[in-house]
Amino acid sequence: MMIGVLPPVAPQSEPIRVLVVDDHELFLQGLETVLDLEEDITVVGRAGDGRQAVTIATGTTPDIVLMDVRMPYRDGIDAASAIKREVPTAKIVMLTVSDDEADLFEAIKAGAVGYLLKSIPPHEVASAVRAVHNGLSLISPSMASKLIVEFAALARGSDDRPSRVPAPHLTARELEVLKLVAEGRANREIARKLFISENTVKNHVRNILDKLQLHSRMEAVMYAVRQGLFEIE
């Protein structure tokens, strides 16, 4: 889901466990302070570089990792790949000043489900954490436009792009779910539309990612575009 305004998400019954990672101590402290004000969010760790982030994530198994892109010792994109290998359930959101589309695309490839610029208002950080925890993918508006341009190029794309063909090994139901994911729908919306439970949707998404050897819903959207499963005007 590409955002301009964050959708309202109710506080969670169980605290969302968050790891914060940034090489600027003042920003790190401020981020931790903002999140600690929320009753349904708990900061389980903090790291000042990508190398520390991998170690701490492995030890704390956070639900969400908020991480900068450009850091010493190990950058955030490389750290994201490592964290996804060690803690597959962790959802990674890049929180950065970098508006370079190359960083955005590499972050998605590494398994990030969000890419937010540090210009985001502080009060929206907690909403972003809740939204990602509930299965949404978030991108700052200025970065979303760059992603849309890339999607459009893929959709109209090169002559060797596959035409509309069924995705290999996906069931008809999984294809339905993939199309709805590509439309930016959350698990709850998909469940209502298909008259199935939210847990069943989660299982379908997990199976889709496993079968296609992908890491995130965003990668699934990119796959759907390449396969021509939906159009971008």
Q: Are residues 25 and 140 in the same domain?
A: yes
Query: Digits of tens for pLDDT over the chain (233 positions)?
Result: 444 445 555 565 789 999 999 999 999 999 999 999 999 999 999 999 999 999 999 999 999 999 999 998 899 999 999 999 999 999 999 999 988 877 888 888 888 999 999 999 988 999 999 999 988 888 887 787 766 666 666 555 544 444 444 556 888 899 889 888 877 677 888 888 999 998 899 899 889 988 888 877 777 777 777 776 655 44
Question: Does residue 4 lie within any of the structural domains?
Answer: no
Is the Cβ–Cβ distance between 147 and 184 less than 8 Å?
no
Considering the domain architecture, whether residues 158 and 188 belong to the same structural domain is answered as yes
Query: Model's pTM, two decimal places?
Result: 0.67
User: Residue length, the chain?
Assistant: 233
- Tell me which DSSP letter residue 135 carries: T
The two three-digit tokens of residue 232, written as one number: 């971008």
* Confidence at residue 71, expressed as pLDDT on a 0 to 100 scale: 92
Residues 168 and 117 in one domain: no
Distances (CA, A) of 206 to 14, 78, 196: 22, 23, 15
DSSP letter string, 132-199: HHTT--EE-HHHHHHHHHHHHHHHH--TTS--S-PPTT--HHHHHHHHHHHTT--HHHHHHHHT--HH
Residue ranges in the chain assigned as alpha helix (H): 25-36, 50-60, 76-86, 101-110, 122-133, 141-156, 172-182, 187-194, 198-212, 217-226
In-domain check, residue 8? no
Please indicate, yes or no, whether residues 139 and 197 belong to a single structural domain of this protein: no
Q: Which residue has the tokens 């792009």?
A: 161
Based on the fold, state whether residues 135 and 23 are members of the same structural domain.
yes
**Amino acid in position 97:** V
Q: What is the dihedral of CA 73, 64, 58, 72, to 10 degrees?
A: 0
214 domain residue, yes or no? yes
Looking at residue 12, its pLDDT comes to 59
Asked whether residue 190 falls in the same domain as residue 128, the answer is: no
Q: Which residues span the domain enclosing 70?
A: 16-144
Task: Identify the domain boundary among 120, 144, 168.
Answer: 144
- CA dist 45 and 50 (Å) reads 13
Q: Which two tokens stand for residue 80?
A: 């994201």
Question: What pLDDT shows up at residue 221?
Answer: 77
